[in-house]
A and B are shown apart, each in its own frame.
Chain A
Amino acid sequence: MATQQAERRPDLSKRDAIVVRFAGDSGDGMQLTGGQFTLSTALAGNDLSTFPDFPAEIRAPQGTLFGVSAFQINFGSRQINTAGDAPDVLVVMNPAALKVNLEALRPGGLIIADTGEFTKRNLDKAKYDANPLEDGSLARWDVLAFDISALTIEAVKDFGLGNKDALRSKNMWTLGLALWMFDRDRQPIVDWLNDKFARKPDIAAANIAALNAGHAYGETAELSGPLQQVAMPPLEQEPGLYRTITGAESISLGLVAGAQLAELPLFFGGYPITPASAILHHLARLKEFDVITFQAEDEIAAICAAIGASYAGQLGVTSSSGPGIALKTEAMGLGIMVELPLVIVNSQRGGPSTGLPTKTEQSDLYQAVYGRNGDAPMPVLAARSPGDAFDVAIEACRIATQYMTPVMLLTDGYIANAAEPWKVPDPAAYERFPVTFLQEAPAGEEFHPYIRDEKGARPWVKPGTPGLMHRVGGIEKNATTGNIDYSPDNHQAMTDARKNKVAGIVVADQEIELGEPSGELAVVGWGSTFGPIRQAVSRWIARGRKVSHIHVRHIWPLPANLGEMLGRFDHVLVPEMNTGQLKTLLRDQYLVRCESLTKTSGQPFQIAELEEAIEAYFDRIDGNEGGQVPVNDEQLPPISSSADN
């Protein structure tokens, strides 16, 4: 029995990566705790990836199952690409947090629980018949349960706070314990608390006392057994300056960078929506970078004002999430028709309709590529990670201004909220793409607003320019004069011109992320599935299978070499957090046989489920030996069942 127990318990000190999940009531400050733990992890030199997972309700009733807020972090002395599959350590602040998160915990993992919250009332709210800390139901895991509430109250009693206020410091006590457990420096957190509560020194002092008490508890309690101190050595990384960054921050900075590289003021029109609002919040603080943010009366006004600003000579940007993007659709068509630069950021979330506001999905690819009336081609880009979003935002600005077109940048709730260490780039390393406004008609020629350059882009004329007055609008314009013209030949010519312009956008050739340029199986992903796909593929490569990872940034137009690249693999598997949208696009464009691996649970893919799916895929292929190539999906066994957990 003892042997079995030892076998089951993961020896954290020998691991090169650890997953910790903090879970509590949505009022317990779990996101704050997670955020500060992330900072201390980054400062310790570990690579990391985080996954904040919180309810859509701002303050769900205390102690309820639907009010549980969690923050997961995966950190290690090796490269980390995902927020981790199963937590090794689960910190729960109440019974509901335990119930909601328990199944995710690795067998043998460690539960740290606040017994002070395991009251009859809270157990009832979490729908527990008996106290799980006492009834033996947690035997599969290690449990460390003690009264964090009482210990916190004791720690802050000198500050004269009422019980309710004192208990607010519980999250700092817990963080202090976690900092001890992973041998972390408390000072950055102390600095942060002093800064955050600069005007309320008592609160700052109470929180610091709680933090120190949690740390001291770990140090002095001499708990035998599960609570052990683990030091995670730093990861060897490229030299340079680093910081942590979330996707929302990264996109905001990338948009500012893009505008600066284009030498344009940035105009941002937005309307609050989860999980896109953070971009509006970030940009609103950057006015000194020639940024105007406009919180419009609705999504439609937000994009229309952005197009108006572009018309007047600025770089118009709008941002939203799926339902808001749907509202902007008519204006996008106008942007395509009048051929003005515009960047549209879509932070995807679970859909359709309001769907899952705080949960992630990748199901707006059809909306981005196809979702408008008429033949309305628009370039579409997808960011793969928080750090990557910076470069993708710059690329979106480049395409928009160089080709005079709206561009959609796809990110998602996971990227928007997740944080990762980011090597601070050198702004001088980016190629500038300054915009030239047309100031006068070409010598000896009449000015025509829809005459095109070699890229197919029309000239950008700012109102206020003498002699170049012209009218633009959504009604079809004559290909030469720019006057209203709905004649058949002209509409054909203009439709072709718009299509060819976007199809001709030069995008970087597709590269193989991992593996050989040909082989048995290409796993093709896009967006935030990058991390888990990369890890799953690397594990199969390590086992000797000829698997490669291809990750598509340019969704539309696709890289010129992608079709040929896919053709060099026997099989193509496309994991997506939707029901198979990129798969359809690839099949349509290349007539290549792609299979889907789908997941729409609102949660990111885990590495293990991708690993299993790839294994299952190989199993089926093997069973197909003898020349019987399936002609359609129905002849293949379903592959998504193992993935949707």
Chain B
Amino acid sequence: MNQLTKIETSLKDWETDQEVRWCPGCGDYAILKAVQRTLPQLGADPANTVFVSGIGCSSRFPYYMESYGFHTIHGRAPAFATGIKLANPDLDVWLVTGDGDGLSIGGNHLMHVLRRNVDMQILLFNNEIYGLTKGQYSPTSRENTRSPSTPLGSVDHPANPCAFALGAGARFVGRGIDVSRNLPDILTAAHAHRGAAFIEIFQNCIVYNKDVFDDFARPKGADQQQLWLSHGEPMLFGSEKTGGVKGLRLDPSRFAFEVVDVSDGDWEAAGVVVHDATNRVLAHMLVELPFGPFPMPLGVIYDDPKPTYEAAVHDEKRRASEGKEASFAKLLAKGQTWTVDGTAQDPV
């Protein structure tokens, strides 16, 4: 979008008069506040901003944003957002979806909005559960998840949202945590990216899947469990206080990452890899890192823009129209015409 003038707003300007109706303690509140805090910093214009959502707890989001909003149907928000962006590329479009909405019923559309590279920010709230329909397992639920529909434990293999996004051709992939202080930075980077920017946000469903991300999301020990990525910076985590500074090194013989100790801050000596957000292969490796042996990679994992879909569509339309007279009368009389007396006319 071509936002020429930055608008001065405050967090309050982005709040609607509607009572927010998520469960007390829901991670969605933190995400809502992070978005409402970030938009003023971006100089975003509420009149030019559109929040589009599908169905689910996350998808109530537009009702709480004082901007334009469209709460649509199960899984199809990417298709609506595509139509909106094609109709008016100047709009700043944000898409809010959940793991069920975006990856199950809407997996098809999510794939296509990413591969087409429609300029918008896609926030996928991942809580590994269906909240609004009362706790069934979702496409990101881990194996053996017990839920009303899987009382003996689920046998599905879970989808990995960031790996899915990369596989679909996404040019921006980020990952955050609902309560993380860094979430606004990821949102800001996503907004600056021209094209489809995909952010997976780990979101705590306190009713049906409480603390499922505790292993890496809880504050205690976080610096050992979270790897915050920054373009041009070494992939370091941990601290002297919590058990030592560590980093990721590439083992060329296996073409795989390994965790190494970094002493005296000399990460170069330890062979720690510097993050390059434009490296697609690196991005694939990072989103596939198994948590446990490795920390959870967070932040901007991949950011390498390509021309956007709506720009290509409008460019093609402009080129196809060049030098052509849009005469409707001539269009109607196209092809081989004749008058009532049967005389053939030249095509108009």
Contact = CB atoms under 8 A, between A and B. Distances in A.
A292 B47 contact: no
Interface string B45-77: 011101010000000001101111111111010
Contact of B87 (A236, A238, A314): A314
A463 B68 contact: yes
A483 B69 CA distance: 12
Contact of B73 (A244, A334, A462): A334
A386 interface: no
Given A243-B335, A288-B325, A463-B91, 10 more contacts: A42-B336, A234-B341, A237-B340, A287-B320, A294-B83, A309-B83, A313-B88, A330-B73, A469-B69, A483-B18
A160 interface: no
Q: Which 7 A-B pairs have the closest CB atoms?
A: A308-B83, A473-B71, A45-B342, A305-B83, A304-B79, A312-B87, A471-B69
Contacts of A424: 332-333, 337
Contact of B83 (A45, A241, A269, A465): A269
Contact of B82 (A298, A308, A426, A471): A308
A307 interface: yes
19 contacts: A39-B336, A45-B342, A237-B340, A240-B339, A242-B337, A257-B328, A267-B83, A292-B86, A292-B87, A292-B317, A300-B109, A305-B79, A309-B86, A427-B329, A463-B68, A463-B91, A465-B47, A469-B69, A471-B16
Interface in B189-242: none
Contacts of A309: 83-84, 86-87
A478 to B, nearest CB: 11
A474 B339 contact: no
Contacts of A473: 62-63, 69-72
Given A234-B341, A301-B76, A464-B48, A43 B87 contact: no
Contacts of A308: 52, 70, 79-87
A462 B88 contact: yes
A286 interface: yes
A467 B46 CA distance: 9
Contacts of B80: 304-305, 307-308, 311
Contacts of A45: 338, 340-342
Contact of A241 (B18, B81, B112, B339): B339
B76 A300 contact: yes
B169 to A, nearest CB: 13
Nearest to A467: B47
A241 to B, nearest CB: 5
A474 B313 contact: no
A239 B340 contact: yes
Contact of B90 (A43, A238, A464): A464
B152 interface: no
B154 interface: no
Contact of B71 (A316, A469, A472): A472
Interface of B: 16, 18, 46-48, 50, 52, 62-63, 65-74, 76, 78-88, 90-91, 108-109, 111-112, 313, 316-317, 320-321, 324-326, 328-329, 331-342, 344-345
A44 interface: yes
Of B52, B324, B344, the most chain A CB neighbours within 10 A belong to B344
Contacts of A146: none
Contacts of B91: 312, 463-464
A471 B70 contact: yes
Contacts of A256: 328, 331
A296 interface: yes
B87 A472 contact: no
B66 to A, nearest CB: 6
Provide the main secondary structure of the chain B interface: mixed
A334 B341 contact: no
Interface residues of A, number: 75
Given A287-B320, A307-B80, A464 B63 contact: no
Contacts of B66: 469
A243 B48 contact: no
B140 to A, nearest CB: 22
B82 A294 contact: yes
Contacts of B313: 292, 294
A374 interface: no
Contacts of A265: 87
B68 A267 contact: no
A43 B63 contact: no
B308 to A, nearest CB: 14
Interface of A: 39, 42-45, 185, 187-188, 234, 236-244, 253, 256-257, 260, 265, 267, 269, 286-290, 292, 294, 296-298, 300-302, 304-314, 316, 330-331, 333-334, 338, 424-427, 462-475, 483-484
A312 B342 contact: no
Contacts of A313: 87-88
A331 B73 contact: yes
Nearest to A472: B70
Given A287-B317, A297-B112, A308-B84, A43 B342 contact: yes
Nearest to B339: A241
B147 to A, nearest CB: 25
Given A334-B73, A471-B63, A297 B108 contact: yes
B277 to A, nearest CB: 28
Contacts of A301: 76, 78-79, 82, 108-109, 112
Contact of B328 (A43, A243, A289, A305): A289
A386 to B, nearest CB: 14
Nearest to B325: A288
A469 B67 contact: yes
A407 to B, nearest CB: 18
A243 B334 contact: yes
Contacts of A298: 108
B341 to A, nearest CB: 7
Given A309-B84, A466-B47, A238 B340 contact: yes
B270 to A, nearest CB: 46
A283 to B, nearest CB: 12
B252 to A, nearest CB: 39
B345 to A, nearest CB: 7
A242 B83 contact: no
Residue of B80, B317, B320, B324 with most partner-chain A CB within 10 A:
B80
Contacts of A187: 344
Contacts of B335: 243-244
A257 B62 CA distance: 35
A241 B82 contact: no
A342 to B, nearest CB: 11
A179 to B, nearest CB: 14
A243 B336 contact: yes
Given A294-B86, A300-B79, A308-B79, A240 B63 contact: no
A244 to B, nearest CB: 8
A312 B88 contact: yes
A301 to B, nearest CB: 4
A183 to B, nearest CB: 12
Contacts of B48: 463-464
B338 A42 contact: yes
Contact of A469 (B18, B46, B340, B341): B46
Nearest to B322: A288
Given A305-B83, A463-B48, A334 B108 contact: no
A269 B90 CA distance: 20
B55 to A, nearest CB: 8
A185 B71 CA distance: 60
A309 B64 CA distance: 23
B342 A306 contact: no
Nearest to A301: B79
A296 B109 CA distance: 9
A458 to B, nearest CB: 15
A463 B334 CA distance: 37
B74 A288 contact: no
A484 B61 CA distance: 13
Contact of B331 (A242, A244, A253, A287): A253
A242 B341 contact: no
B336 A43 contact: yes
